[in-house]
């Protein structure tokens, strides 16, 4: 017994006729043959990255209407059918001055896009959030504080996301806040390749604090450099004080490595300390270019030779010339393709994508 619906063929095995009723009974299984569909849509947080991903995948970005009403509420509607598709929503939860949304707008927009996709009968809904907002609030530092990273995870799952694709999370335990699969990507290998190609002499990789030591150690191994660690304290939020350097940086080329740069206050203090200890010149590298507040002024004051970042977050206007931006589109494209085909994601990095 065959039936055709929207170009798909359903094949059902038929058992013998019932001798009493003359009615044919179907077998215990229903074989379905149809072509899987992959769709990529973008929110307003980073449409440039979404466009690069869709181009590399060889698909057009799906149409979606997004707007913010005069009272600040966010609206979305898919402009075409997404029924039965694996829908990848590219939306880091960051602000974007060009599209006029804040980080909170981006998060709310992502939740609404997920909810709308579930209601429109998408087969799977995957939230592609290379920058996972609120990731720094992953534990209680003081009493009566929220664990905001966990709340965001619960909100995504409640909205209906089937899995999350993130990059260089601020802390490993964030993956544990989800009951759904979390595919964790890293830009470290792309960044290490960039510095290997530069062939810098007397290189030392500097961790800005104890929490980044494992990442910095792996980075140093990949580029064949020594490792140094800074002793950092935070007397207040977004305020950093660095007391001393553990390791030798004198007459060396220092590369300060971190997962993100926000106001660049920590980075400026780190660069000043490393220079005071005799470093010849200082570079910086990070995945996420938050660059809020007076970040550009802090970077200028630090006197970096170069600051290497990626496009998980769009770089706002006015960025200095010494900022070099690498695209993570290739990594995310390969990962999306593997998720769609149910292939191994960890093989993208040979299993070395948990850098905590």
Q: Which residues are catalytic?
A: 232
Q: What is the DSSP string of 215-244?
A: HHHHHHHHHT-EEEEEEEEEEETTEEEEEE
Counting Cβ atoms within 10 Å, is residue 177 exposed (0-12), middle (13-18) or buried (19+)? middle
Q: What are phi and psi of 280, to 5 degrees?
A: -70, -45
Radius of gyration of the chain from its Cα atoms, rounded to whole angstroms: 24
CB 339 within 8 A of CB 199: no
CA 126 and chain centroid, separation: 12
CB proximity list for 219: less than 8 A, separation 6 or greater: 188, 191, 192, 205, 225, 255, 257, 285
**350 C-beta neighbours (distance < 10 Å), count:** 8
Of 248, 246, 243, 269, residue with least CA distance to 204: 248
CB 113 within 8 A of CB 127: no
Q: What is the DSSP string of 77-101?
A: EESS--TTEEEEEE--S--BTTTTB
The β-bridge partners of 225 are none
Of 295, 293, 236, residue with least CA distance to 267: 295
CA–CA distance, 126 with 160 (Å, rounded to integer): 9
CB 96 within 8 A of CB 66: no
């Amino acid at each position: 017994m065959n039936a055709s619906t929207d170009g798909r063929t359903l094949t059902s095995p038929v058992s013998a006729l019932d001798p009493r009723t003359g009615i044919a009974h179907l077998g215990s299984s229903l074989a379905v043959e149809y072509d899987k569909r992959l769709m990529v849509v973008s929110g307003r947080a980073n449409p440039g990255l979404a466009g690069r991903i869709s181009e590399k995948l060889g698909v057009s970005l799906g149409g979606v209407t997004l707007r913010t009403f005069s009272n600040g509420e966010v609206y979305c509607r898919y402009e075409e059918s997404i029924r039965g598709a694996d829908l990848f929503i590219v939306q880091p939860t960051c602000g974007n001055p060009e599209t006029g949304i804040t980080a909170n707008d981006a998060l709310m927009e992502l939740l609404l896009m997920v909810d709308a996709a579930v209601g429109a009968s998408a087969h799977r809904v995957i939230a592609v959030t290379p920058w996972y907002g609120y990731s720094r609030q992953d534990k209680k530092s003081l009493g009566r504080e929220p664990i905001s990273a966990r709340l965001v995870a619960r909100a995504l799952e409640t909205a209906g996301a089937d899995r999350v694709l993130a990059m260089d999370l601020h802390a490993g335990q964030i993956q544990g806040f989800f009951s759904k699969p979390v595919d964790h990507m890293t830009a470290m290998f792309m960044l290490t390749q960039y510095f290997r190609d530069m062939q810098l002499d007397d290189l030392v990789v500097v961790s800005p604090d104890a929490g980044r030591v494992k990442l910095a150690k792996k980075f140093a191994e990949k580029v064949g450099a020594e490792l140094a660690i800074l002793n950092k304290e935070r007397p207040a939020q977004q305020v950093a004080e660095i007391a001393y350097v553990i390791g030798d940086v004198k007459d060396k080329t220092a590369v300060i490595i971190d997962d993100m740069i926000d106001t660049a206050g920590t980075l400026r203090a780190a660069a000043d300390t490393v220079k005071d200890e005799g470093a010849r010149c200082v570079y910086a590298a990070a995945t996420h270019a938050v660059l809020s507040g007076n970040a550009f002024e802090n970077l200028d004051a630090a006197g970096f030779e170069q600051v290497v970042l990626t496009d998980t977050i769009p770089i706002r206007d006015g960025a200095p010339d010494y900022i070099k931006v690498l695209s993570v589109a290739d990594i995310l494209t390969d990962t999306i393709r593997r998720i769609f085909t149910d292939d191994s994601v960890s093989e993208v990095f040979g299993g070395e994508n948990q850098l905590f």
